[in-house]
Structure 1
């Protein structure tokens, strides 16, 4: 896979990689054709797993390379890491306050963001879409970094990140489509909404790759920005939602497993 994807331009590589992560989201959403509901404990474990993957990816695939790149450019490694990280969190905080969305298990009246009269199903999809923006951006920036010629950026690490994000997208797709089916939405429509939550990843991926190609000096900031955005999602959305039921064992175990999987992928392939 690494040799095959290396034959394309960085933007094309980002599109292929994020197309893969979207495809895995669609596979997860297809679970609605086999199951009508997911036990709350299982959903908590899925959310915990996604959180673990994103935490590990934020450090191993984004922050650590950003610090190395900054030092290779002759700068203090921690400066762009801190600035980019906090900027990414601020960006997601703004999006969180603007984008209307609703988390699983909450009433429609508890939707966040700008108040609208949109359907509950749309608000539920937008909640997961919010998670996917930094994921797609991270993959795109990683592939764009490979073209920079900096030793700490390599195609294997970018592929590892895409695989890790893809793995955690499977339960995310199911976490959208199956609950919608339980609420009375048709199987086909539930699948459509589930896969739709991942469409933003190829868009964000292409934007991320193109941005770092045109502004090479900002690469460490871009990697750290993506890390900050992902950590914001983990702390603000995934972990609280996974522990809403007060039974935290499965969600904690899922987070540990997700971290271990992503760390193993990054170290083994990167």
Structure 2
């Protein structure tokens, strides 16, 4: 598989990888064709698992390589990491502040961002789309980093990141499609809205790869930026949503640790 991917240029590699992550989002949304409900304990566990995957990916696939690259490029490693990491978090905070969206399970009076008359379905899709921006960007930057020919950036590590993000995209597609189906939307439209939240990943992935290829000097910052954006999503959204029902907190915590372990295994074994 690695040999096959290496035949393409970094931008095409990023596009293929993010099309895969988008496909897994669609697979999660496709559950609406088979059932109208998902066990809440299972859903909370999947969200916890996704949080663990993203935490591990942020360090193993993004922060650690970014710090190593900064050192090799003669930068101050900790300063590069802090600037990039906090920049990613600030970017997501600003986007979260202004982009209209509504998180699954909440009423319309809890919608965030600027005021709008957009429908609930659109706001739900935008909430998950907000999650997917840093994920697509992270994959694109990871594949673009391979072209820099630095030891800390490998095609296996970039593939591990794409696989990990793909795994955690499954519950995100479900989290959009299922509430819409329960509210009376047709199966087909619920699926369409659920998978639509993942379309931003190929776009962000290609942009990320192109950006770092053109400006390799900022590559360490870009990797740390993607890590900060992903951690923002985990802390601001995934963990609160997965642990909102206190009776499942122990199960969700173990699922989070399992997700971290799976991503760590993928990154260490493939990277």
TM-score, structure 1 length as denominator? 0.98
In the alignment, is residue 225 of structure 1 matched against residue 225 of structure 2? Answer: yes
State the partner residue of 1:255: 256
Q: How many angstroms apart in 1 are the aligned matches of 2:24 and 2:256?
A: 19
The alpha-carbon deviation at position 196 of structure 1 amounts to: 0.3
The alpha-carbon deviation at position 45 of structure 1 amounts to: 1.0
**5+ unaligned residues in a row in structure 2: which ranges?**
none
Q: How many angstroms apart in 1 are the aligned matches of 2:255 and 2:198?
A: 21
State the partner residue of 1:267: 268
1:205 is paired with a residue of what secondary structure? helix
State the partner residue of 1:52: 52
Q: How many angstroms apart in 2 are the aligned matches of 1:267 and 1:149?
A: 19
2:67 is paired with a residue of what secondary structure? helix
In the alignment, is residue 205 of structure 1 matched against residue 205 of structure 2? Answer: yes
**5+ unaligned residues in a row in structure 1: which ranges?**
none
State the partner residue of 2:85: 85
Q: Do the aligned partners of 1:141 and 1:208 also contact (CA within 8 Å) in 2?
A: yes
- In the TM superposition, 1:235-254 aligns within 5 A as 235-247=235-247, 248-254=249-255
State the partner residue of 1:64: 64
Q: How many angstroms apart in 2 are the aligned matches of 1:171 and 1:101?
A: 18
Q: How many angstroms apart in 2 are the aligned matches of 1:131 and 1:49?
A: 15
Q: How many angstroms apart in 2 are the aligned matches of 1:46 and 1:120?
A: 23
Deviates more, 1:126-135 or 1:246-255: 246-255
In the alignment, is residue 181 of structure 1 matched against residue 181 of structure 2? Answer: yes
The alpha-carbon deviation at position 105 of structure 1 amounts to: 1.6
The alpha-carbon deviation at position 5 of structure 1 amounts to: 1.0
1:211 is paired with a residue of what secondary structure? helix
Q: Do the aligned partners of 1:42 and 1:250 also contact (CA within 8 Å) in 2?
A: no
Q: Do the aligned partners of 1:132 and 1:200 also contact (CA within 8 Å) in 2?
A: yes
Question: What is the Cα-based RMSD across aligned positions, in Å?
Answer: 0.9
The alpha-carbon deviation at position 97 of structure 1 amounts to: 0.4
The alpha-carbon deviation at position 38 of structure 1 amounts to: 1.3
TM-score, structure 2 length as denominator? 0.98
Q: How many angstroms apart in 2 are the aligned matches of 1:137 and 1:70?
A: 19
State the partner residue of 2:157: 157
State the partner residue of 1:18: 18
Q: How many angstroms apart in 1 are the aligned matches of 2:264 and 2:193?
A: 30
Q: How many angstroms apart in 1 are the aligned matches of 2:263 and 2:223?
A: 17
The alpha-carbon deviation at position 198 of structure 1 amounts to: 0.4
Q: How many angstroms apart in 2 are the aligned matches of 1:250 and 1:184?
A: 31
The alpha-carbon deviation at position 182 of structure 1 amounts to: 1.1
Q: Do the aligned partners of 1:38 and 1:179 also contact (CA within 8 Å) in 2?
A: no
Q: How many angstroms apart in 2 are the aligned matches of 1:104 and 1:24?
A: 19
The alpha-carbon deviation at position 76 of structure 1 amounts to: 2.1
State the partner residue of 2:169: 169
2:65 is paired with a residue of what secondary structure? helix
The alpha-carbon deviation at position 179 of structure 1 amounts to: 2.0
State the partner residue of 1:39: 39
The alpha-carbon deviation at position 202 of structure 1 amounts to: 0.3
Q: How many angstroms apart in 1 are the aligned matches of 2:28 and 2:221?
A: 32
Deviates more, 1:220-229 or 1:97-106: 97-106
State the partner residue of 2:129: 129
Q: How many angstroms apart in 1 are the aligned matches of 2:140 and 2:10?
A: 8
